[in-house]
């Protein structure tokens, strides 16, 4: 039954893209462009200055062979919502606008009111009234006004976001602008959807992810008789026959997507899962004695150890000495986000690291190069920075009474 759920999510969602995988070759596009041709770009798209602008997008044909660009409509302009089978439109409601129908009238472009769209409006206001911090980011929303999956903090990490804006599994060091593109977060989103659509109290096995939120290219069903297959890391679409390799034979020469830097010969179980299974097999049920594993099979950032909660790296090793007594108030607010960020950045040889509370959370303000600013629980800057000598002026300093790790 569990395996069926797994394949339902994995296979059904991606049946269509699996077929495309094979069709969309360079040769196909060359032929497509020669035979069908691509439509000319509108003037707005060719000019691209502040009065004439458009948005380049994937061509709404299956293989994206052509450049495709839409010019923007302004608030109040009439618009048509696209429908399957119609020609792709050449005009679209501009940023933060959605084609909205009111009382059966002709649809017009109206301001979106999703959380992401509203957060952008607030961002623009702060920029205009001078209260914006230098590393605060304008939220990235998709065409429906939902949060884009990749969220990158300058000088820190990129992490995955659910469409609702909450942080979900998947993080990498943010070292260059390409990192944002690498963060497709498909596997994290797949797991998030599975957990949010189905009964949340029921443990649903989902596709194995990589630490960056992509799909692990090797997927095996667990158990002694498991079989393994290769899938696309970005889309999760199966790319080999489903009944391929017996997990006991898993190796470089049996499965093309096997990567010895990630995978282990002959098993798909990770150290964390093995530790968990062994303890459960021995009748252990107390959660304080069991490791918790992430959806990439590695250790979660918070683990129990004796009468403490510790911040752990993905291998289950305590990071520095970040911890709190299980019975202490710190343990109830502990998130280890700062500890993990420090660990990720150190591994990437970054030397400017965030400062963390003893229990692994971000200190309420961070100081860099003689400037200080308030941050949220993920290390995002909130509000304008101040000179280090004016630290007392920061809102978070005032509300915390000068305690960067205020508990309760
Ligand atoms: C944008 O380009 C159009 C067409 O070339 C031109 O008429 C207009 O003045 C340009 N606007 C700006 C702000 O440069
Ligand atoms: C600036 O704009 C933000 C966002 O709307 C608002 O919360 C803040 O109070 C404004 N600050 C000033 C000084 O106007
Ligand atoms: C992997 O774990 C499963 C239980 O989840 C167990 O049945 C199986 O034997 C393990 N495989 C190996 C190779 O250890
Ligand atoms: C498969 O793995 C999940 C979590 O990794 C575990 O909860 C489940 O018990 C395993 N199933 C079997 C049959 O080992
Ligand atoms: C594993 O597969 C073999 C052969 O298909 C079968 O005889 C055996 O019962 C299976 N074992 C388990 C634990 O499912
Ligand atoms: C997988 O390999 C193991 C060990 O060689 C064997 O016992 C098991 O029957 C195989 N399972 C299947 C389904 O072939
Ligand atoms: C894994 O299996 C491959 C053969 O497929 C072999 O060349 C390699 O040495 C094995 N690695 C380990 C660590 O056993
Ligand atoms: C918490 O536990 C420690 C030892 O485990 C004990 O020394 C301490 O008194 C306890 N504190 C509270 C508030 O219960």
Nearest C-alpha neighbor of 381 from the set 361, 364, 369, 393 = 364
Q: Token pair of 363, please?
A: 């200190």
Evaluate whether residue 373 is within a structural domain: yes
Q: Relative to the CA of 251, which ligand 7 atom is closest? A: 5
Evaluate whether residue 382 is within a structural domain: yes
Q: Token pair of 388, please?
A: 């280090």
Is the beta carbon of 325 within 6 A of some atom in ligand 8?
Answer: yes
Evaluate whether residue 384 is within a structural domain: yes
What gap in Å lies between CA 399 and CA 236, rounded to an integer? Answer: 45
Nearest residue (by CA) to ligand 6, atom 4, is 248
Evaluate whether residue 392 is within a structural domain: yes
Phi-psi region of 402 (alpha: psi -120 to 50; beta: other; left: phi over 0): left
Q: How far is the CA of 160 from the centre of ligand 4 (A)?
A: 25
Q: How far is the CA of 225 from the centre of ligand 5 (A)?
A: 6
Evaluate whether residue 371 is within a structural domain: yes
Helix (H) / strand (E) element for 6: namely: helix 2-7
Pairing mode, strands 318-325 and 365-368: unpaired
Residue 310: strand pairing partners: 303, 323
Q: Provide the residue range defining the domain that includes 372.
A: 365-399
Q: Token pair of 303, please?
A: 């683990």
Is the beta carbon of 306 within 6 A of some atom in ligand 8?
Answer: no
Q: Are 113 and 129 in contact (CB under 8 A)?
A: no
Q: Relative to the CA of 43, which ligand 1 atom is closest? A: 4
- Token look-up 């918790």 returns 292
- Can you give the pLDDT at residue 294? 95
From 120, 122, 126, mutation site for ligand 2 pocket: most ligand atoms within 8 A of C-beta: 126
- Can you give the pLDDT at residue 51? 62
Q: What is the dihedral of CA 385, 387, 391, 392, to 10 degrees?
A: -100
When divided into structural domains, the chain yields a total of 1
Q: Is the dihedral of CA 271, 272, 276, 282 positive or negative?
A: positive
- Can you give the pLDDT at residue 72? 81
Is the beta carbon of 222 within 6 A of some atom in ligand 3?
Answer: yes
Evaluate whether residue 376 is within a structural domain: yes
- Can you give the pLDDT at residue 7? 39
- Token look-up 């044909």 returns 61
Is the beta carbon of 223 within 6 A of some atom in ligand 3?
Answer: yes
Is the beta carbon of 225 within 6 A of some atom in ligand 5?
Answer: yes
CA–CA distance from 153 to each of 75, 148, 167, 375, 382 (Å)?
31, 14, 13, 11, 12
Q: Token pair of 79, please?
A: 């618009």
Residue 391 main-chain phi, psi, to 5 deg: -45, -40
Helix, strand, coil abundance in the chain, percent, nearest 5? 25, 25, 50
DSSP class per residue in 101-160:
--TTSPPEEEE--SHHHHHHHHHHHHHHHT---TT-----B-TTSPBPSEEE-TTSEEEE
Ligand 7, pocket residues at CB < 6 Å: 251-253, 265
Evaluate whether residue 395 is within a structural domain: yes
Per-10-residue mean pLDDT of the chain, 408 residues long, equals: 38 43 73 78 68 64 74 83 60 78 81 88 92 90 86 95 95 93 92 78 77 94 76 86 76 89 92 95 92 95 95 97 96 97 97 97 95 96 94 96 93
What gap in Å lies between CA 232 and CA 217, rounded to an integer? Answer: 6
Q: Are 395 and 126 in contact (CB under 8 A)?
A: no
Using CB atoms within 10 Å of the CB of residue 360, give its burial: 0 to 12 exposed, 13 to 18 middle, 19+ buried.
buried
Helix (H) / strand (E) element for 180: namely: helix 178-182
Evaluate whether residue 335 is within a structural domain: no
What gap in Å lies between CA 383 and CA 375, rounded to an integer? Answer: 8
């Amino acid at each position: 039954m569990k395996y069926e759920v797994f394949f339902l999510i994995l296979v059904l969602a991606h049946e269509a893209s699996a077929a495309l995988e094979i069709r969309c070759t360079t040769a196909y596009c060359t032929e497509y462009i020669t035979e069908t041709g691509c439509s000319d770009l509108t003037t707005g798209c060719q000019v691209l200055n502040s009065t004439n602008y458009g948005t380049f997008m994937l061509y709404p044909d299956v293989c994206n062979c052509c450049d495709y660009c839409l010019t923007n409509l302004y608030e109040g302009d009439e618009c048509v919502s696209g429908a399957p089978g119609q020609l792709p439109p050449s005009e679209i409601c501009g940023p933060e606008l959605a084609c909205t129908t009111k009382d059966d009238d002709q649809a017009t472009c109206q301001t979106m009111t999703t959380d992401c769209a509203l957060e952008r409006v607030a961002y623009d206001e702060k920029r205009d009234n001078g209260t914006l911090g230098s590393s605060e980011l304008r939220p990235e929303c998709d065409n429906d006004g939902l949060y884009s999956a990749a969220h990158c903090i300058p000088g820190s990490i990129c992490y995955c976001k659910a469409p609702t804006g909450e942080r979900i599994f998947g993080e990498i060091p943010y070292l260059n602008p390409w990192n944002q593109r690498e963060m497709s977060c498909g596997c994290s989103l797949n797991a998030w959807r599975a957990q949010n659509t189905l009964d949340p109290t029921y443990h649903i096995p989902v596709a194995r992810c990589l630490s960056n939120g992509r799909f692990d290219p090797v997927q095996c069903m667990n158990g002694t008789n498991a079989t393994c297959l290769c899938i696309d890391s970005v889309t999760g679409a199966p790319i080999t026959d489903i009944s391929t390799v017996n997990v006991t034979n898993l190796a470089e020469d049996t499965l093309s997507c096997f990567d010895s830097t990630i995978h282990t010969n002959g098993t798909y179980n990770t150290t964390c899962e093995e530790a968990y299974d062994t303890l459960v097999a021995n009748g252990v049920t107390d959660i304080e004695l069991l490791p918790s594993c992430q959806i990439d099979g590695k250790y979660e950032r918070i683990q129990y150890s004796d009468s403490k909660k510790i911040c752990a790296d993905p291998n289950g090793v305590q990071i520095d000495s970040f911890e709190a007594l299980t019975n202490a108030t710190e343990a109830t607010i502990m998130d280890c986000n700062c500890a993990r960020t420090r660990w990720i950045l150190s591994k990437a040889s970054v030397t400017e690291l965030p400062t963390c509370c003893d229990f692994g959370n971000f200190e309420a303000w961070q100081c860099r190069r003689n400037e200080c600013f308030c941050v949220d629980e993920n290390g995002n800057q909130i509000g304008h920075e101040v000179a280090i000598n004016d630290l007392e002026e920061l809102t978070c300093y005032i509300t915390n009474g000068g305690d960067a790790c205020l508990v309760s």
